[in-house]
Each structure stands twice: as C-alpha cells, then as structure tokens.
C-alpha cells in the first residue's frame, strides 16, 4: 500500500508517489500527490521517471528552498519503503538535467538497415505463417557511462519495437463488364471475438454497381502479431493463397463473380501473439534488433507459450535483451526459467499490461535460452448494453448484461439488468442469449426468476429470461450462475417485447480497454 | 565581505539576468527565456536569495503577460505566491493571489499554490455542494437530495464528505465556489475499484 511521506524539513506537507509499475527505470510512470494536514492539495499523472522527479521537486520547492540532493534521497527512500530499489545517482541526474540526452543519443546512431532473417526463423522454430523482422544498427560506440548506455539500448528497443495496428488493410481488385479493371483499398477495424482470446476481423466487398463484377481479388494484409485461427467466406468453399511479405501475411481470395447488391464477407478469427523484441550486442558497434511473434496455445485449463532463442552468431554476444509483451488479456501464472531480478523483471503497468524483460550477459555461440510462459486470463468484465427504441425513435428500455470472471472450476456469473425509461409498456420482456452447448445454468437469483434453457438446431444453447417490465424509472435484475469448463462467449443478447422483435441496429460501438471498475 | 557589498552584487546579478533575458527574447522562444531565468533563480534560491527571486519572477510574469503566454504567466504567478509565502509576506502573497484570480489565470502549479495559500492564510473558500447525482450502470444520472448550506474549505474535504456520508456508488457532484462564483463537477466513487480488462459493446436497436 502506497502511503504519504512527509517532506523533510516540514511537519505539515506530504507527498505520495503511486507508480504504475514495480520496476525502477526511466520509463516508470505513475501518480504524484501533494498533501497537507487538511488533505490533498493537488496531484499529477506522470508519464515517466523524469516527470515524477520533476513533479516531486516542484511540490517540494513550493514550500521550501530547492534542494536537489535532498529530493533525490527522499525519493530513493520513499521507493525503498514501497519495495522498489531506486538509484540515487540516476534520480539526481534527472533532477539536474533539463532534457534527457535524447539528442546526443540520436547522434550515436550511424545507420539502421533491414536484414534478412531466414536463419533466425529456422533457428528459433518460427511458425510457418509467422516471420521475424530484423534490423542491424551501426553505432559510433557504446557509451562508457552506464546510464547513457542503458538509455541508448532502451532507445534502440523503443525505436525498433513492433507497433500493434488498430486496423487491417485490404486491397481489392475487380473487372467491370466493359473489361476495365478497378482497384480500391480499405482499412477494416478489428472487432471483439467470441471469447477473450479472439479478435474478429471482417473483410470483403459489396457490389454497389448496377452490373456484375468478375475476377475479384481481395487481398488482406494480416500483421504477424496475429495468428489466424480460422477464416472463410460464408457459403463459399474457397481456399485463399498465402504469401509471407516483410511486415504481414498476404491472404489473397479469388472470387469469380459478385452480383449487383450482393455482398461477400470474409470472416477471420484471429488470436493475439506475444510480441517479442530481441536486442543482441554483436560487437561494440553492431547491434541487432529482432521482432518475433509467438503463439499462445491452450494447455489444459491454462494457456502457454514456449519461445525459443538460439545465439546463431559465431561469437559470444556481449549482451542480450529479450522483451516479451504479453497481450493485456492474459496474466502470467509462472515462467520457466523463473523471472527473477536482476536478470529478469516482470513489469506490470497499471491499466496497460505486462512486459517481461530478460537480460543475459556473455551469451556463448550456439547457446539456447528458451522461455516458457504459463498464462491465464486477466480478470475480465464483459459489459454489453442495449438501448431499445420504439418505432417513433423514443428510448423505452435500457438493458445491460455483465459477465464476471471467476474460478474456472466454478464457472461464471451473468447479470442482466432492465431499466424502464419510456414508461407505460406492460408486455412481457424476453432476453435470449447464446451460450456454449456444454454450459449449464446451476443457479439464479432471485430464485423464482423464469429462466429457460434450450438447444437450437445448430447445437447452440439459448438461455431465455422472461420477466414483466419494471415500473417507469425502475430496474429489475437477475443473476445467473453458469457452470462450464470453457470460457464464456462474448455476444450481444437479443430482446423481445411481447411479440415485437429487434428490427434494426441503429448504432453499435465496441471496445476493449483496461478500466478501474467496482470490485465485484 | 560586508552585507552592503553582497546586496549590491546580488542586485547586479539580477540586473544582468534581466538584461540577458531581454536579449534572449529577441531570437529565442519564451520557453528558452523561461529556462534561462529559472536556472539563474535556482542558483539564487540555493543561497536563500528569495527577494532577488521575487524580483525576477515579477519580471517573468510581466514579460509573459506582454507576450500573451498565459501558461507561463500562470507559472510565474504560482512562483510569486509561493515565494512570498516563503518570505512570510502574507499581504503580498494575497495581493498576487487576488491578481491571479482577477486575471483569470489557471494552471497546475497555480492551483497547487493557491490551495496552499488559502489554507495558510485561513481565508477559507466557500465551496457548497449544490447537486449530487448518482450514476447508474447505464451512465444515467439520478438526482439525490444534497444538503445545502454545508460549506467545504476545499475539494478534498468534499471527497471526504462523499466517502463518509454517501452510500456505495459512483456520484457526479456539482460544487459552487461562492468566492469566485464558479462551479465544478467531480466524479467520485465510494466503492473499491479493481483493474479489469473490460470488453464493452453498446447497441441502439429499434424494436417494433
């Protein structure tokens, strides 16, 4: 628990630092708050250690004369009290420097070039549909100063780190009746998959011409940070061709024809991979930075990723840094070898995710350094809300569904809440929701709630809650306990009011993000 | 060395810095100018020369006002209030405090220092809760009765009140500051918050 600590030389002013990470370093971010005996005076969210140090110094020097060495000592002592080993010299340096040494570091880099990575792919056992992106960086020399050296390596990692895209590019080509070939491009957004592990992507083409389109080619550029679990075009048995490009896997679909107003949709089920960045100091002036993408597979009731590394250079590496970014949906249960300081740290960044940093010195030629991660879902909350409008466009009900993660062997709970907005509706409301067929309702609250379970023709379980509408402005809710040893599905429910059904979706928004929400 | 000489030389330092600062402004940005002056002030303050510091911060405040650099002007005002407080000159601190309000200046540092000043000078501000609305799961706001005429000295006391006297939930609180006639909205949760990976879907549908 982070506590406030009095400023040295003052009995009525206090500062509290709440870091987002448990690892000391220049990228450490967090909140700095300033108090007096009455309570909070002000607080600031700081984006890095420099910002934290400056904010503490600013608060300090509003009530006392500036004193950098005391401030640095105070911060070091504070961090130590919350279990973080700080570095007094670095803190003092940050307090004394206006801007870091970014410009000087830039000057040290002579050249960055892309390099072929086939040998690495073979040695690391890279998946068939994945690739390693490689850069070789020539620098003037490694700085002798430890702090500058670390900063330079950190900068090279940051500069060459893989950036996750938010949309996927699709290139489309087709022929018109007059023989003319048209090409177009679009960016398709990534959507929420059926389970927490999946990412949904829909690509395709709608024929808006008044004539038939022929010889259609749809080329989707799937980045290597995603594994393709499943893909296909509805009602069309069509196998695409795949080609590995530098930054993405190119999936090409060939469709003979599309009639006017017809739409062809290509559905992808993607899975996030672990983004790995490897930095190898090959010689004093030559550094390699590699990006690889590692599959996460189901292993019993958990998930696992087994990642290989081999030093394929015919020489000893001075230093090797491996940075694994675990997708935010997952939490690390354990690692093998164990990630223990000073050679490895698991950095949990609040509201962002987990990063594991490994550092090895003097890595011999042909030495292998494999890592195994055992993972589980990060505590999740699925929240879907539906605003129900009548045909006049007036909102009559708001309905929400929440799924909370719980112990795997117990299953999970689903809450439905109905709020009457519009007033005088007295028809029965039914909420129908899809569940995996092997899941079963084992409890409900209130106990007399009317819950029905049935299997539809395609083997999907439908659970329906039937209820009289609440009075205007009031709520009615039910909690259902479901047992099942697989994850729940994340889908929107369907609403029926009397014999009226959903006719049109007027608006839809979806997102995945880390949030601080009420403890459940 | 006599006291007279040291004052004269400090005075010289200040005059020199003002001259150099003015030269710097001719071909550098206001931020470069501020950085230069601040470096000089830091050295002066390390030797407890707060009067010189105040002279220079007045010079910065005036310069930034002329350049219409409101953020930097607010920063200079925050420094002036805190330096007058360090010098125990409450009267001067209040003068600058009032001036900063009449000039409608605001900023992170200025807010910090104004709060310190208010508490130090015991000129309690009169913040009153004029509306409490509970936020439900749909993000809708339900009005619940507020207790008028309860005055709070500062926002953290409002937070304390909400945590102690309101039931579990998330609230949107509107506060009227009688001192300057402004209102502010605060969102406060009285429940324990935990980090979750939230998958969220919202749809508007037509049913008929």
Nearest CB partner across the interface for B201, out of A328, A379, A492: A492
Q: Residue A350: CB partners within 8 Å, gap ≥ 6?
A: A20, A21, A514, B195
With CB atoms and an 8 Å threshold, state whether A517 touches B198: yes
Evaluate if residue A213 carries a pLDDT over 80. yes
Which has more pLDDT, A343 or B123?
A: A343
Which tokens belong to B59? Answer: 């010079």
Phi, then psi, of A26 in degrees rounded to 5: -65, -20
Nearest CB partner across the interface for B200, out of A396, A502, A510: A510
pLDDT of residue B92: 92
Q: In this structure, what DSSP letter does residue A488 have?
A: P
Shortest Cα distance from A476 to chain B (angstroms)?
12
Answer whether the bond into residue A342 is a cis peptide, omega within 30°.
yes
Evaluate if residue B156 carries a pLDDT over 80. no
Question: CB neighbours (10 Å) of residue B126?
Answer: 12
Which pLDDT tens digit goes with each residue over A228-249? 999 999 777 778 999 999 889 9
In chain B, which residue's Cα lies nearest the Cα of A385?
A: B202
Question: Contact at 8 Å (CB) between A294 and A305?
Answer: yes
pLDDT of residue A249: 95
Q: Quick check: ipTM above 0.90?
A: no
Q: What are the strands, taking DSSP E only, across A54-121?
A: 109-115
Evaluate if residue A253 carries a pLDDT over 90. yes
In chain B, which residue's Cα lies nearest the Cα of A507?
A: B204
Return the biggest CA–CA distance within chain B: 93
pLDDT of residue A1: 58
Evaluate if residue B139 carries a pLDDT over 60. yes
* Calpha distance A415→A401 (Å, rounded): 5
Q: Is A23 on the interface with B (CB under 8 A)?
A: no
* Calpha distance B206→A466 (Å, rounded): 19
Q: Residue A294: CB partners within 8 Å, gap ≥ 6?
A: A273, A274, A276, A305, A307, A324
Answer whether the bond into residue A243 is a cis peptide, omega within 30°.
no
Which has more pLDDT, A198 or A218?
A: A218
* pLDDT band with cut points at 50, 70 and 90 for residue B11: low
Q: What integer is the mean pLDDT of A270-291?
A: 94
List A residues 111-140 in contact with B (Cβ-Cβ < 8 A).
none
What is the residue-wise DSSP string for A263-274?
EEEEEEEEEE-E
* pLDDT band with cut points at 50, 70 and 90 for residue B3: very low
Average pLDDT, chain B: 84
Inter-chain CB pairs, A–B, below 8 Å: 197
* Calpha distance A29→A49 (Å, rounded): 6
* Calpha distance A251→A239 (Å, rounded): 10
Which pLDDT tens digit goes with each residue over A419-464? 999 878 889 999 999 998 888 999 999 999 999 999 888 878 999 9
| For testing contact with chain B, the best of A33, A34, A38 (most B CBs within 10 A) | A38
| Coil, strand or helix at A395 | strand
Distances from the Cα of A219 to the Cα of A171, A203, A281, A488, B176, angstroms: 5, 9, 38, 32, 58
From first CA to last CA, the distance across chain A in angstroms is: 21
Which has more pLDDT, A254 or B158?
A: A254
pLDDT of residue B163: 83
With CB atoms and an 8 Å threshold, state whether A512 touches B193: no
Structural domains of chain B in order of their starting residue, each with its CATH number = 3-121 (1.25.40), 127-189 (no CATH)
C-alpha angle A473-A479-A484 in degrees, rounded to nearest 5: 150
Q: Is A383 on the interface with B (CB under 8 A)?
A: yes
Question: Contact at 8 Å (CB) between A246 and A102?
Answer: no
Which tokens belong to A106? Answer: 């830039």
Q: What are the strands, taking DSSP E only, across A273-352?
A: 274-281, 286-294, 297-299, 302-307, 317-326, 330-336, 344-349
pLDDT of residue B118: 83
Which tokens belong to A262? Answer: 């017809």
Question: Contact at 8 Å (CB) between A33 and B156?
Answer: no
For residue A192, what are the β-bridge partners? A199
Q: What integer is the mean pLDDT of A321-329?
A: 93
Question: Contact at 8 Å (CB) between A328 and A352?
Answer: yes
Q: What integer is the mean pLDDT of A311-326?
A: 94
Question: CB neighbours (10 Å) of residue B24?
Answer: 18
Chain B positions touching A379 (Cβ under 8 A) are: 194-197
- How many CA atoms lie within 13 Å of B84's alpha carbon, on the beta-carbon side? 23
| Coil, strand or helix at A146 | helix
pLDDT of residue B1: 36
With CB atoms and an 8 Å threshold, state whether B112 touches A512: no
Residue whose structure tokens are 């200025």: B110
| For testing contact with chain A, the best of B42, B199, B208 (most A CBs within 10 A) | B199
Distances from the Cα of A301 to the Cα of A83, A291, A374, A409, B149, angstroms: 33, 29, 10, 9, 58
pLDDT of residue B8: 41
Question: Which span out of A37-46, A191-200, A381-390 was modeled with the highest average pLDDT?
Answer: A381-390
Evaluate if residue A386 carries a pLDDT over 70. yes
Nearest CB partner across the interface for B193, out of A34, A61, A516: A516
DSSP H or E stretch at residue B18: helix B3-27
Rama region for A408: left / alpha / beta (φ>0; ψ in -120 to 50; rest)? alpha
Burial A432-460 (b: 16+ CB within 10 A, else e): bbbbbeebebeebeeeebeeeeeeeeeee
Phi, then psi, of B93 in degrees rounded to 5: -60, -40
Question: CB neighbours (10 Å) of residue B99?
Answer: 14
Q: Residue A301: CB partners within 8 Å, gap ≥ 6?
A: A408, A485
In chain B, which residue's Cα lies nearest the Cα of A197?
A: B199
Shortest Cα distance from B74 to chain A (angstroms)?
14
Q: Is A45 on the interface with B (CB under 8 A)?
A: no
Q: In this structure, what DSSP letter does residue A55 have?
A: H
With CB atoms and an 8 Å threshold, state whether A192 touches B202: no
Chain B positions touching A59 (Cβ under 8 A) are: 112
Distances from the Cα of A482 to the Cα of A91, A405, A433, A456, angstroms: 52, 11, 13, 18
* pLDDT band with cut points at 50, 70 and 90 for residue B6: very low
Nearest CB partner across the interface for A385, out of B45, B138, B160: B138
Phi, then psi, of B141 in degrees rounded to 5: -105, 125
Average pLDDT, chain A: 89
What is the residue-wise DSSP string for B104-117?
T---HHHHHHHHHH
Residue whose structure tokens are 């509970």: B134
Which has more pLDDT, A18 or B158?
A: A18
With CB atoms and an 8 Å threshold, state whether B35 touches A497: no
Q: What share of chain A is helix, strand, coil (3-state, %, to 5)?
A: 15, 50, 35
Q: Is A500 on the interface with B (CB under 8 A)?
A: yes
pTM listed for this prediction: 0.74
Question: Contact at 8 Å (CB) between A381 and B196?
Answer: yes
């Amino acid at each position: 628990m982070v506590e406030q600590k009095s400023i040295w030389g003052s009995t009525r002013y206090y500062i509290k630092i709440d870091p987002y990470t448990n690892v000391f370093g220049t990228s450490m971010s967090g909140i700095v708050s300033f108090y007096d005996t009455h309570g909070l005076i002000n607080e600031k969210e700081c984006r890095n250690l420099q910002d934290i140090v400056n904010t503490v110094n600013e608060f300090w020097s509003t009530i006392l004369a500036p004193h950098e060495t005391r401030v640095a000592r105070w911060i070091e002592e504070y961090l130590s009290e919350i279990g973080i080993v700080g570095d007094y010299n670095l803190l003092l340096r940050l307090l004394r420097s206006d801007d870091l040494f970014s410009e000087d570091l830039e000057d040290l880099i002579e050249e960055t070039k892309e390099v072929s990575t086939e040998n690495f792919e073979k040695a690391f056992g890279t998946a068939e549909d994945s690739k390693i992106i490689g850069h070789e960086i020539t620098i003037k020399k490694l700085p002798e100063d430890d702090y500058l050296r670390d900063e330079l390596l950190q900068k090279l990692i940051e500069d060459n780190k893989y950036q996750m895209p938010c949309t996927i590019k699709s290139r489309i080509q087709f022929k018109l009746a007059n023989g003319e070939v048209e090409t177009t491009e679009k960016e398709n957004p990534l959507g929420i998959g059926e389970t927490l592990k999946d990412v949904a992507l829909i690509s395709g083409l709608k024929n808006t011409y008044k004539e038939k389109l022929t010889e259609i080619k749809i080329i989707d550029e799937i980045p290597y940070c995603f594994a393709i679990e499943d893909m296909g075009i509805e009602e069309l048995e069509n196998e695409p061709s795949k080609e590995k490009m530098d930054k993405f896997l190119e999936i090409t679909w060939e469709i003979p024809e599309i009639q006017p107003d017809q739409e062809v949709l290509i559905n992808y089920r993607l899975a996030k991979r672990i983004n790995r960045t490897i930095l190898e100091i090959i010689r004093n002036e030559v550094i390699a930075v590699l990006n690889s993408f590692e599959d996460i597979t189901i292993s019993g009731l958990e998930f696992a990723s087994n990642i290989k590394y081999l030093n394929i250079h015919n020489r000893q590496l001075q230093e090797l840094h491996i940075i694994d970014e675990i997708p935010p949906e997952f939490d690390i249960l354990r690692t093998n070898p164990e990630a223990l300081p000073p050679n490895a740290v698991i950095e949990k960044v609040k509201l962002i995710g987990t990063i594991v940093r490994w550092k090895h010195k003097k890595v011999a030629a042909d030495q292998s350094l494999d890592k195994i991660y055992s993972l589980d879902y990060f505590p999740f909350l699925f929240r879907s809300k539906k605003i129900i409008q009548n045909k006049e466009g007036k909102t009559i009900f708001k309905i929400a569904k929440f799924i909370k993660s719980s112990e795997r062997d117990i299953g999970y709970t689903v809450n439905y809440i109905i709020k009457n907005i519009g007033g005088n509706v007295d028809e029965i409301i039914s909420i129908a929701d899809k569940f995996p067929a092997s899941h079963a309702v084992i409890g409900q609250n209130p106990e007399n709630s009317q819950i029905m379970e049935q299997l539809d023709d395609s083997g999907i379980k439908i659970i329906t809650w039937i209820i009289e509408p609440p009075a205007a402005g009031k709520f009615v809710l039910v909690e259902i306990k479901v047992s099942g040893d697989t994850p729940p599905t994340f889908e929107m429910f369907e609403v029926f009011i009397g014999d009226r059904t959903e006719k049109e979706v007027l608006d839809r928004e979806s997102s995945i993000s880390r949030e601080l929400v009420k403890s459940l | 060395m006599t006291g007279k000489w040291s004052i004269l030389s400090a005075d010289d330092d200040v005059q020199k810095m003002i001259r150099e600062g003015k030269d710097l402004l001719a071909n550098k940005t206001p931020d470069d100018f501020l950085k230069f002056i601040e470096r000089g002030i830091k050295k002066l303050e390390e030797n407890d020369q707060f009067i010189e510091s105040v002279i220079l911060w007045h010079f910065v405040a005036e310069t930034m006002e002329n350049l219409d650099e409101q953020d930097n002007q607010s920063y200079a005002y925050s420094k002036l209030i805190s330096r007058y407080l360090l010098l125990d000159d409450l009267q001067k601190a209040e003068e600058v405090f009032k001036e900063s309000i009449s000039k409608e200046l605001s900023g992170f540092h200025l807010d910090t220092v104004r709060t310190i000043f208010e508490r130090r000078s015991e000129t309690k501000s009169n913040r009153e809760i004029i509306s409490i609305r509970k936020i439900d799961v749909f993000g809708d706001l339900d009005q619940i009765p507020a207790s008028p005429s309860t005055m709070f000295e500062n926002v953290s006391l409002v937070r304390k009140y909400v945590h102690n006297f309101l039931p579990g939930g998330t609230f949107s609180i509107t506060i009227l500051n009688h001192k300057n006639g402004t209102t502010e909205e605060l969102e406060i949760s009285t429940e324990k918050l935990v980090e979750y990976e939230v998958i969220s879907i919202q749809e508007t549908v037509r049913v008929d």
